[in-house]
Structure 1
Amino acid sequence: MNQVASRIGKTLAFVLPVVLVLSGTLAVTRVPWATPASEAQVLTAAHGKKVSVASAPQEVLRSRLLAELQEKNPGVALTNLQREIAERPSLAQHCTSIARSLGRAAVAKYGPQRAQAWSRPVCDTSFATGIASVR
């Protein structure tokens, strides 16, 4: 019974931040009267402060790869991670954290046994580290 509670807690720990980020993203709206010079800014519903629309490149990549993992499989996401790092070396410093995120997401979707089958040496085996951190 304790293992079940632990597994539920770990699942909530993964899903809850995703839900909070998505709900926060939905709270942000474009300002309809913005001039072309300020179209890169948005008005937050909660604070009325302007913030930049552009996300950090590594976060855009992480989001895209996590979506690919959910739609396809971890192998596709890992292959695309390798390709992106090769094409944009500036992202290499974020490779391990992205690969760990993919590992955790793979466990959430496939379970630890099946997720391990997708493991490969991307970013110093960080994908496998992400899998092991969920166990």
Structure 2
Amino acid sequence: MKGLGIKVPRAVSTGTKLTCADNTGARVVQVVSVFGYHGVRRRQPKLGLADIATVSVKKGTPDMRRKLVRAVVIRQKKEIRRPSGLRLSFEDNAVVVVDDKNEPRGTEIKGPVAREVAIRYPRIGSMATIIV
């Protein structure tokens, strides 16, 4: 996994409901845990852009609902600052459902994807229609 080169603010915490931006059948998911998080006692695990989380599907097709899946955050509302000085924020918090090899399970991604995500996960970047 490639480093991002920027410090991403961790704006999405556990329990947050996110929109699913792919065509796997999930529409709304809720963050259950953060992959690779080693925190402090009683501290809420948080995640940001290009982080992996275990999510529970809340709304979607009947075969996807109430399942635990892995997902990568591709958009977040909290703005990030790039080394060039550009500040970037999106309208919503969105994820893409991935498998154990961190490759997307769907075949298309709706909406823009942050460049940091496309660099870290090339398969997600190749499926994206817009990379910002």
TM-score of the aligned structures, taking structure 1 as reference length: 0.25
Greater helix fraction, Structure 1 or Structure 2: 1
TM-score of the aligned structures, taking structure 2 as reference length: 0.26
Greater strand fraction, Structure 1 or Structure 2: 2
Larger Rg: 1
